[in-house]
Amino acid sequence: MRVVITGAGGQLGRSLQEAFAGRELLPLSHADLEVSDPSVVGGLIALKPELVLHAAAMTDVDGCERDPRRAHEVNGLGTRWVAEACRATSAIMVYFSTDYVFDGHRQEPYAEEDPPHPINVYGRTKLEGEVEARSILDPDRLYIVRTAWLYGPGANNFVEKVLRLAAQRESISMVTTEVGSPTYTEDLSRAVRRLVEQPQYGIYHLTNQGACSRYEWAAHILQLVGMVDYPLHPIERYERPAAAPPQVILANTRAAALGIRLRPWRQSLADYMAHRDG
């Protein structure tokens, strides 16, 4: 099976390449493919993909808030072009979406069928990508995988940022008012591989089990490297351009019904820490 991966240089893209090893892989980094350019449709068609794992996105949440037009071009329109290429080649598409399609103003976990209500540009444009893909592709050609708080290979993730800051500063502060599920890209990628081996398409929530605040997450990271006495301060607010949903826990109901379950987040984090390059 010919598998195209967009955003192949990103953290999820890199883990997907490992999880799908053994297939005929065509990993496309940003240098290979600019998804906001409509010519991407012809370029992808020429590759004759059977499966497209669309992980490319503008993921800088504050950057999206500052430049909503670019976020729309990449996350919304970019997904349209990729979906059009999938339609033309009858390829199956996996679109990676986000917990930020929800506003986070509720205590209970969100199910796949709950109505989205994004509160920032990143969430709105990722939802736009969902709408584009659903409007272009038949339901039996599309998986939408909503995930959250990703970390994986590469230095551009929360875990590495916390460790960098702790090495550079005398103390750091983290919010207690943002709650989510840290998710290891390797676990997610293996789950996606199993997901596409079965024909029940549609929306899936896929995260590691459990949830914590950003503060608890940072505390656990520091604990794993033995920095238990490092001064980490809990704060309620952090001034930044984009509003963050206060608490999004994604109920992984549909995947669980297929027997696909990711590990508890603490186990995965320990695994990542034991194998990280940094």
Q: Which residues bind ligand NAP (CB under 6 A)?
A: 7, 9-13, 30, 33-36, 55-59, 74, 78, 96, 98, 126, 147-150, 156
CB-nearer residue toward ligand NAP: 160 or 271: 160
Q: Report the distance separating Cα 176 and Cα 110, nearest Å.
A: 20
CB-nearer residue toward ligand NAP: 56 or 222: 56
Q: CA 264 from chain center: how many Å?
A: 17
Any idea which residues carry the catalytic annotation? Answer: 122
Q: Report the distance separating Cα 19 and Cα 192, nearest Å.
A: 9
CB of 112 to ligand NAP, least distance (A): 15
CB of 151 to ligand NAP, least distance (A): 7
Query: Is residue 126 within 8 Å of residue 98, measured between CB atoms?
Result: yes
**Structure-block tokens of residue 212:** 């914590």
CB of 256 to ligand NAP, least distance (A): 19
Please measure the distance between the N-terminal and C-terminal CA atoms of the chain and give it in whole angstroms.
34
Residue 21 backbone class (left: φ over 0; alpha: ψ -120 to 50; beta: rest): beta
CB of 75 to ligand NAP, least distance (A): 7
Q: What is the CA radius of gyration of the chain?
A: 18
CB-nearer residue toward ligand NAP: 95 or 201: 95
212 backbone dihedrals φ, ψ, rounded to 5°? -160, 170
Q: Tell me the angle at which helices 11-19 and 185-195 cross, rounded to the nearest 10 degrees.
A: 50
CB-nearer residue toward ligand NAP: 37 or 140: 37
Distances (CA, A) of 204 to 50, 137, 188, 247, 252: 20, 16, 12, 19, 7
CB-nearer residue toward ligand NAP: 147 or 213: 147
**Which residue number has the CB closest to ligand NAP?**
10
CB-nearer residue toward ligand NAP: 12 or 93: 12
Give the helix/strand (H/E) hosting 269. helix 265-275
Distances (CA, A) of 175 to 151, 171, 179, 213, 242: 18, 14, 9, 7, 14
CB of 267 to ligand NAP, least distance (A): 19
